[in-house]
A and B are shown apart, each in its own frame.
Chain A
């Protein structure tokens, strides 16, 4: 008996000892956490298998190769008809999500930076106007913005016959916007090659200018020369190749326009609403980032004799970006995820195609949801991957 109780005391002792040691404790915590995670996953998986079995459903992706039998009105990149497969419908949806997210990120960033800087303006009217716009935008749910813009276009804009005509080339109607389509003729290859070469030249020139400055001290107007080379060389090549570009201008044929590029109202509404909604958050981030750089930094740079533009380039922007980029990344993620509200106005994104019509037609909830989830997951991981890289490179060394 004595031996056993002694053993018991020993084990208890051992556990206490392991628990109070910082390293072994963290190992124990990790083991416990992993066990819990795997147990949960196993439980969920088992549940799924049992439930699918009970309904006589199989888990497979065969449906992807069956005809989709539904129409998608907006497929700017690949051919699609109702005879195409579900796989093709999924790809169209994914591309549409990507398109609206990418366009949204670009426009939101642009608007956000402009408004963030305007918010710092000392002009009272400018400052207040932007402030009111931002406050209104930020505090109304994004779904309402989307419905609002969509409504504006579909209800307020005229029918194609009475289209708003901008310079006889751009037409705004309730069936969408019609814009000229560039048509590249023979010789445009030359222009493209020259453009690529001049971009390559600029990259090399930038490196060379940095080296030259290090070794001779001369400062070259890199920005001016780079812009000059790219614009100048491309323009020259364009003229030399006899201007190999014409425009296919939309024309009214019967009840609608033909020719040019037709941008659907759903896309415009989603794109604009997501952009200005997200830009109102970005504006605050930009404003905060610039304000976070103390006035002392500018003063110190000026006192050393640096000119205002150099101060901006060498001192303010690098520091402000460190503050701005991480929250900017999460706004990009938000925009991408918010684009799933597309379904409210019938924009055919990945949720509306795979997660909507395909799901209802095939009854494959698990499989379609996995595709939708993976799509967003991959986009998000890509965006945050880039941001992490950037942060790692820029992280400030603090005491």
Chain B
């Protein structure tokens, strides 16, 4: 069950949200009439969503509503069966070249971190730059160190993921994605596998990332985070986008009954 935790974010971030960031006219992601089925089960129903470069979008909704499926369609970890998805001007089709281009432009952070346990933190981060971007090892490691510093764990570079705490592992996972210099970052409940005291360190990194102008789609129930950085909150239920709004209005003035019910449930927890 989703939990809400507003204390994850520094107080001042909530009072002075980072919304003034410029959002460009450029379209980063466009989904038109997207449908997806798992066998008979209709997971995504007529999804229409346009994300501009620099936008920070939070997606919430009850368990099983298709949030993960939606964002995983954006980098083809799941395949949609109907409709059109265009990422950074490249359409996702079964053309493997396009999939490759999009995957190297889009980073994703998973709930379960999915770090490579047999590689050190530094190797986790430099692996894709070396093998996908064909970078020199020294250069790739330099970049890896840069992002490890940005997520504030450069001193862990030589350790293996198994030696780190959950919060540290998730920050490595974020750094690993950033090393590919993505234009878009996807997050699938990045803090829900973490102990409460580690949630903040991860959210802080995500807030900084938002402030740097990264286009972000984030599935989360951290309402504090949504208020602080999102410029749009999307509510999904039964595979549909029910409602989307700017966070203040979304939380204080929900339009649909289902949104009201969902918000009352997570706020009462």
Chain A residues with CB under 8 Å of chain B are 213-219, 294, 296-297, 299-307, 310, 314-315, 318-319, 322, 396-399
A216: chain B residues within 8 A (beta carbon)? 136
State whether the Cβ of B138 lies closer than 8 Å to any Cβ in chain A: yes
State whether the Cβ of B32 lies closer than 8 Å to any Cβ in chain A: no
Q: Which residue of A lies closest to B108 (CB)?
A: A303
State whether the Cβ of B43 lies closer than 8 Å to any Cβ in chain A: no
Query: Among the listed B103, B134, B138, B139, which residue makes an inter-chain contact with A304, where contact means beta carbons less than 8 Å apart?
Result: B103
State whether the Cβ of B130 lies closer than 8 Å to any Cβ in chain A: yes
A297: chain B residues within 8 A (beta carbon)? 114, 116
> In the complex, A396→B117 CA distance in Å?
7
> In the complex, A215→B137 CA distance in Å?
6
Query: Among the listed A305, A310, A319, which residue makes an inter-chain contact with B118, where contact means beta carbons less than 8 Å apart?
Result: A319
Interface pair B118/A318, CB less than 8 Å apart: yes
> In the complex, A317→B114 CA distance in Å?
16
**Size class of the B contact interface (CB-based, 8 Å):** 35 or more
Interface pair B134/A299, CB less than 8 Å apart: no
B106: chain A residues within 8 A (beta carbon)? 303
The 5 nearest A-B residue pairs measured at CB: A214-B137, A300-B114, A304-B128, A305-B104, A397-B160
Interface pair B117/A304, CB less than 8 Å apart: no
What's the least CB distance linking A379 to chain B, in Å? 30
Query: Among the listed B77, B127, B139, which residue makes an inter-chain contact with A303, where contact means beta carbons less than 8 Å apart?
Result: B77
Interface pair B103/A396, CB less than 8 Å apart: no
Interface pair A314/B114, CB less than 8 Å apart: no
Interface pair A213/B130, CB less than 8 Å apart: yes
Q: Which residue of B lies closest to A311 (CB)?
A: B131
> In the complex, A136→B77 CA distance in Å?
38
Interface pair A314/B136, CB less than 8 Å apart: no
Q: Which residue of A lies closest to B111 (CB)?
A: A296
A314: chain B residues within 8 A (beta carbon)? 127, 131
A322 with B118, Cβ < 8 A, contacts A303-B75, A306-B131 known: yes
What's the least CB distance linking A14 to chain B, in Å? 43
Interface pair A305/B136, CB less than 8 Å apart: no
Interface pair B103/A305, CB less than 8 Å apart: yes
What's the least CB distance linking A233 to chain B, in Å? 28
State whether the Cβ of B110 lies closer than 8 Å to any Cβ in chain A: yes
> In the complex, A315→B127 CA distance in Å?
10
State whether the Cβ of B177 lies closer than 8 Å to any Cβ in chain A: yes
Interface pair B134/A398, CB less than 8 Å apart: no
> In the complex, A307→B99 CA distance in Å?
10
> In the complex, A217→B129 CA distance in Å?
9
What's the least CB distance linking B72 to chain A, in Å? 8
> In the complex, A213→B129 CA distance in Å?
12
Chain B residues with CB under 8 Å of chain A are 75, 77, 100, 103-104, 106-108, 110, 112, 114-118, 127-128, 130-140, 159-160, 162-164, 176-177, 180
What's the least CB distance linking A199 to chain B, in Å? 26
What's the least CB distance linking A319 to chain B, in Å? 5
Interface pair A219/B131, CB less than 8 Å apart: yes
What's the least CB distance linking B186 to chain A, in Å? 9
Interface pair A213/B137, CB less than 8 Å apart: yes
What's the least CB distance linking B154 to chain A, in Å? 19
A214 with B162, Cβ < 8 A, contacts A296-B112, A305-B128 known: no
Interface pair B137/A300, CB less than 8 Å apart: no
B75: chain A residues within 8 A (beta carbon)? 303
Interface pair B117/A299, CB less than 8 Å apart: no
Query: Among the listed A315, A397, A398, A399, which residue makes an inter-chain contact with B116, where contact means beta carbons less than 8 Å apart?
Result: A315
What's the least CB distance linking B213 to chain A, in Å? 22
A310 with B131, Cβ < 8 A, contacts A305-B180, A396-B117, A398-B162 known: yes
Interface pair A214/B136, CB less than 8 Å apart: yes
What's the least CB distance linking B38 to chain A, in Å? 15
> In the complex, A294→B137 CA distance in Å?
28
A215: chain B residues within 8 A (beta carbon)? 136-138
21 contacts between A and B (CB under 8 A): A217-B136, A294-B114, A299-B114, A300-B110, A301-B116, A303-B77, A303-B103, A304-B104, A304-B132, A305-B128, A305-B132, A305-B180, A306-B132, A315-B116, A319-B117, A319-B118, A396-B118, A397-B159, A397-B162, A398-B163, A399-B164
A304: chain B residues within 8 A (beta carbon)? 103-104, 127-128, 132, 176-177, 180
> In the complex, A304→B102 CA distance in Å?
10
> In the complex, A216→B130 CA distance in Å?
10
Query: Among the listed B107, B130, B163, which residue makes an inter-chain contact with A397, where contact means beta carbons less than 8 Å apart?
Result: B163
Interface pair A217/B118, CB less than 8 Å apart: no
B160: chain A residues within 8 A (beta carbon)? 396-398
Q: Which residue of A lies closest to B139 (CB)?
A: A217
Query: Among the listed A213, A218, A399, which residue makes an inter-chain contact with B163, where contact means beta carbons less than 8 Å apart?
Result: A399
> In the complex, A396→B118 CA distance in Å?
6
> In the complex, A369→B138 CA distance in Å?
60
Interface pair A214/B138, CB less than 8 Å apart: yes
Q: A300-B114, A304-B177 are in contact. List 14 more A-B contacts (CB 8 A).
A: A213-B137, A217-B130, A217-B133, A217-B136, A217-B137, A299-B110, A303-B77, A303-B108, A304-B128, A306-B127, A306-B128, A310-B131, A314-B131, A318-B118
A214: chain B residues within 8 A (beta carbon)? 136-138
What's the least CB distance linking B79 to chain A, in Å? 12
Interface pair B162/A303, CB less than 8 Å apart: no
B140: chain A residues within 8 A (beta carbon)? 217
What's the least CB distance linking A202 to chain B, in Å? 21
Q: Which residue of B lies closest to A296 (CB)?
A: B114
> In the complex, A218→B133 CA distance in Å?
10
B132: chain A residues within 8 A (beta carbon)? 304-306
> In the complex, A318→B123 CA distance in Å?
14
Query: Among the listed B100, B118, B135, B162, which residue makes an inter-chain contact with A307, where contact means beta carbons less than 8 Å apart?
Result: B100
What's the least CB distance linking A289 to chain B, in Å? 13
B163: chain A residues within 8 A (beta carbon)? 397-399
B116: chain A residues within 8 A (beta carbon)? 297, 300-301, 315, 319
